[in-house]
């Protein structure tokens, strides 16, 4: 079957989608957006987290056909999404990027010689920068899902308590960091966000 | 496989009548796991996401009419006062991502003995409104669970909404698991005080082939509270009453040994949860009594 939905503000279409296929599979294998990770395919790890009409969900548990006509934001569009939110919807989000990130632009997140350690060479969202600055990334497999979940937390709660952060990230597993640096990163992003307001 | 996307409730009923083997998919948090792991290859998937009314709720005089697809996160946010037990239970489900998608209709559809909505629904008291092209009927929650992961739905029926009694007293939900998030219950206990009818209702999860009520414990407690005049006096429940309530609750459990826990541990834990949740709810009931007296003064 054919599915149509908006990814990072741009209308996308995929053909020959199997009816039982997940949104995650369509994003990764049919649209060339491998930022959302596939680790468990059963909702346990959160590495496939995307925004579906604004809400963080496990894209491995959404049937692609259920996403028909929806607005999706993936980690590849997070920088544009955050910028768009600051520029156009201060204090909230529209669940999409009104302008849009093309697949071409989104795919620039594939490593191609820029310094992957510091994120130089690409525009980063504040939460992405904070993850780098706080040393919250080790193998990086959990990172895209955590970034999407953490960014959504900061959108709805500008100064989250530690309990709020733990709750918001409770659906995202990390096998490397021990989580402390991840909490640091979210606190850092929240503090920077307050400074700029 | 075919993917059916009815735009309205009537279309969904027609589709289910035409294809009784079609598997409804709401949040997909049970269905997609089965498909991803090749445990299930349904001929038809019947997507319910376009049917807006399934995600709505209505607070009436006596009941909350909860649409089958209202996600747990919405219950936690909006129905804490009307459905405190279900809101607490919802909060223990999985993770924010899962709670944004999964809901009570799917929990009832799966009818797992470990489903967190069930003890809260049994304790609050409710009826499940199901419909097919043949008509609609209300299934009392006590008659809904018919076996391990089996429910009273006919092949052509869909769950429309659940008519849940609005809380008329304190409610609690307690769940044993290895950590706070992303845990399937080792066992669980829900309790609701109903001061209007002077009854207490309970629900037990993961400790029998289906979700059950601790009926003997309820009957004992209702009689003891009545006899001792506890509902009027709001005095502290005598420890011996609480103890017997806990023992009877534990006795009504019929658990198994599995990877999450042993039968004897579950039986023990059900008793502990019964005593604790009774203590918590009774304390709030007593508190309400005090504040209403102070309010008058
Ligand atoms: C990682 C993870 C953790 C989980 N943790 C918990 C937990 O802690 N507690 C818990 O209770 N559950 C848990 N679950 C299970 C699941 O999230 C719940 O059972 C949830 O309530 C299912 O709702 P859904 O809308 O996603 O159902 P779906 O997957 O869409 O459907 C579930 C079943 O119900 C049927 N169905 C759905 N809607 C209807 C309808 N309107 N009429 C008739 N049939 C219908 C479907 O055909 C299917 O058989 C977990 C799942 C995952 C993946
Ligand atoms: S891949 Fe979706 S939650 Fe793990
Ligand atoms: S950094 Fe490796 S899983 Fe989190």
Give the pLDDT confidence of A49-82 residue by residue, as tens digits: 999 999 999 999 999 999 999 999 999 999 999 9
Which among B30, B96, B102, B180 is the top mutation candidate for probing chain A, defined by the most A β-carbons within 10 Å of its own β-carbon? B96
- Given a cut of 60, whether residue A112 has pLDDT beyond it is no
3-class secondary structure per residue, chain A: CCEEEEECCEEEEECCCCCCCEHHHHHHHHCCCCCCCCCCCCCCCCCCEEEECCEEEEHHHCEHHHHCCCEEECHHHHHHHHHHHHHHCCCCCCCCCCCCCCHHHHHCCCCCCCCCCCCCCCCCCHHHHHHHHCCCCCCCCCHHHHHHHHHHHHHHCCCCCHHHHHHHCCCCCCCCCCCHHHHHHHHHHHHHHHHHC
The predicted structure's pLDDT at residue A118: 47
Per-residue pLDDT tens for B224-258? 999 999 999 999 999 999 999 999 999 999 999 99
Residue A99 pLDDT class (50, 70, 90 cuts)? low
The predicted structure's pLDDT at residue A115: 45
Distance B280 CA to ligand 2 centre (A): 37
Q: Of all protein residues, whose CA lies closest to atom 4 belonging to ligand 3?
A: A174
**Any idea what the CATH number is for the domain that residue B225 is in?**
3.30.390.50
How many angstroms separate the CA of residue A56 from the nearest CA in chain B?
5
> Considering the domain boundaries, does residue B76 fall inside one?
no
Number of domains, chain B:
2
Q: Domains of chain A: which residue ranges?
A: 3-83, 107-196
What is the C-alpha to C-alpha distance for residues B197 and B218, in angstroms, rounded to an integer? 13
Per-residue pLDDT, averaged over B9-21, amounts to: 98
Of B11, B30, B48, which residue is a domain's last?
B48
Chain A residue with minimum CA distance to B46: A66
CB contact under 8 A, A149 and B29: no
Strands (E), B9-157: 23-25, 44-47, 57-59, 63-67, 126-132, 135-140, 145-147, 150-151
- Given a cut of 80, whether residue B152 has pLDDT beyond it is yes
Share above pLDDT 70 across residues of chain A, in percent, rounded to a whole number: 91
Tell me, yes or no, if A60 comes closer than 8 A to chain B by beta carbon: yes
Mean pLDDT (chain A, rounded): 91
Per-residue pLDDT, averaged over B124-135, amounts to: 98
Distance B266 CA to ligand 1 centre (A): 23
> Considering the domain boundaries, does residue B34 fall inside one?
yes
> Considering the domain boundaries, does residue B13 fall inside one?
yes
Beta-carbon pairs below 8 A across chains A and B: 92
Residue B179 pLDDT class (50, 70, 90 cuts)? confident
The CATH architecture one would assign to domain A107-196 is Orthogonal Bundle (1.10)
**Any idea what the CATH number is for the domain that residue B5 is in?**
3.30.43.10
Tell me, yes or no, if A160 comes closer than 8 A to chain B by beta carbon: no
ipTM score of the complex? 0.94
**Cα torsion B140, B14, B51, B89: sign:** positive
Residue B105 CB–ligand 1 contact under 6 Å? yes
CB contact under 8 A, B98 and A43: yes
How many angstroms separate the CA of residue B22 from the nearest CA in chain A?
13
- Given a cut of 70, whether residue A20 has pLDDT beyond it is yes
Residue A66 CB–ligand 3 contact under 6 Å? no
The predicted structure's pLDDT at residue A120: 55
Residue B125 pLDDT class (50, 70, 90 cuts)? very high
> Considering the domain boundaries, does residue B7 fall inside one?
yes
Chain B residue with minimum CA distance to A48: B97
Per-residue pLDDT tens for A86-95? 888 777 777 7
Residue whose C-alpha is closest to residue B244's, from B226, B213, B271, B265? B271
What is the C-alpha to C-alpha distance for residues B256 and B263, in angstroms, rounded to an integer? 5
- Given a cut of 70, whether residue B198 has pLDDT beyond it is yes
CB B97 within 8 A of CB A42: no
CB contact under 8 A, B32 and A61: yes
Domain A3-83 fold is Ubiquitin-like (UB roll) (3.10.20)
Chain A residues with CB inside 8 Å of B32's CB? 22, 43, 60-63
The predicted structure's pLDDT at residue A61: 98
Range of the domain at B36: 1-48
> Considering the domain boundaries, does residue B18 fall inside one?
yes
Distance B2 CA to ligand 3 centre (A): 37
Tell me, yes or no, if A19 comes closer than 8 A to chain B by beta carbon: yes
CB contact under 8 A, A171 and B41: no
- Given a cut of 50, whether residue A113 has pLDDT beyond it is no
The predicted structure's pLDDT at residue A123: 87
Per-residue pLDDT tens for A148-168? 999 999 999 999 999 999 999
Atom of ligand 3 minimally distant from the CA of A136: 1
The predicted structure's pLDDT at residue A114: 44
- Given a cut of 60, whether residue A30 has pLDDT beyond it is yes
> Considering the domain boundaries, does residue B272 fall inside one?
yes
CB B68 within 8 A of CB B160: yes
Mean pLDDT (chain B, rounded): 96
Of A46, A52, A61, the CB nearest to B33: A61
Per-residue pLDDT, averaged over A111-135, amounts to: 74
Strands B44-47 and B2-4: parallel
> Considering the domain boundaries, does residue B70 fall inside one?
no
Residue A117 pLDDT class (50, 70, 90 cuts)? very low
Residue to mutate (ligand 2; options A28, A35, A43, A149; most atoms within 8 A of CB): A43
């Amino acid at each position: 079957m054919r599915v149509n939905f908006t990814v990072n503000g741009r209308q996308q279409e995929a053909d020959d989608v199997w009816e039982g296929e997940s949104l995650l599979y369509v994003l990764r294998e049919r649209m060339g957006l491998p930022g959302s990770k596939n680790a468990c395919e059963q909702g346990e790890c959160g590495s496939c987290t995307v925004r579906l009409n604004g809400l963080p969900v496990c894209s491995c548990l959404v049937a692609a056909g259920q996403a028909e006509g929806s607005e999706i934001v993936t980690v590849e569009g997070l920088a544009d999404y955050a910028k768009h939110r600051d520029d156009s919807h201060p204090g909230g989000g529209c669940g999409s990027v009104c302008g849009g990130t093309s697949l071409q632009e989104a795919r620039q997140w594939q490593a191609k010689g820029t310094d992957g350690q510091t994120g130089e060479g690409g525009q980063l969202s504040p939460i992405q920068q904070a993850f780098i600055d706080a040393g919250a990334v080790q193998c990086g497999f959990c990172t895209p899902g955590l970034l999407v979940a953490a960014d959504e937390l900061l959108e709805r709660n500008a100064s989250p308590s530690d309990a709020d952060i733990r709750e918001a990230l409770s659906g995202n597993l990390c096998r490397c960091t021990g989580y402390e640096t991840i909490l640091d990163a979210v606190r850092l992003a929240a503090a920077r966000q307050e400074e700029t307001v | 496989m075919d993917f059916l996307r009815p735009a309205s409730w009537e279309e969904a009923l027609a589709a289910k009548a035409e294809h009784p083997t079609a598997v409804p998919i709401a949040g997909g948090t049970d269905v997609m796991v089965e498909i991803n792991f090749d445990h299930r290859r349904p001929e038809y998937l019947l997507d319910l996401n376009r049917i807006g009314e399934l995600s709505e709720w209505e607070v009436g005089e006596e009941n909350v009419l909860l649409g089958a697809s209202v996600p747990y996160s919405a219950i936690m946010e909006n129905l804490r006062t009307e459905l405190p037990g279900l809101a607490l239970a919802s909060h223990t489900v999985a993770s924010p991502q899962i709670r944004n998608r999964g809901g009570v209709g799917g929990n009832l559809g799966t009818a797992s003995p470990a489903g967190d909505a069930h003890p809260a629904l049994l304790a609050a008291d409710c009826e499940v409104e199901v419909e097919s092209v043949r008509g609609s009927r209300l299934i009392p929650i006590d008659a809904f669970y018919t076996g391990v992961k089996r429910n009273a739905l006919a092949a052509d029926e869909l769950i429309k909404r659940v008519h849940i009694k609005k809380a008329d007293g304190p409610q609690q939900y307690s769940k044993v698991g290895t950590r706070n998030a992303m845990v399937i219950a080792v066992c669980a206990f829900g309790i609701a005080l109903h001061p209007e009818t002077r009854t207490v209702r309970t629900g037990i999860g993961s400790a029998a082939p289906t979700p059950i009520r601790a009926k003997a414990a309820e009957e004992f407690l209702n009689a003891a509270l009545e006899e001792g005049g506890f509902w009027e006096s709001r005095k502290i429940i005598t420890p011996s009453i609480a103890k017997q309530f806990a023992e009877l609750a534990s006795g009504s459990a019929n658990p198994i040994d599995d990877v999450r826990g042993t039968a004897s541990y579950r039986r023990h834990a059900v008793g502990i949860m019964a005593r604790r949740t009774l203590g918590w709810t009774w304390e709030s009931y007593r508190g309400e009594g005090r504040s209403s007296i102070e309010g008058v003064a």
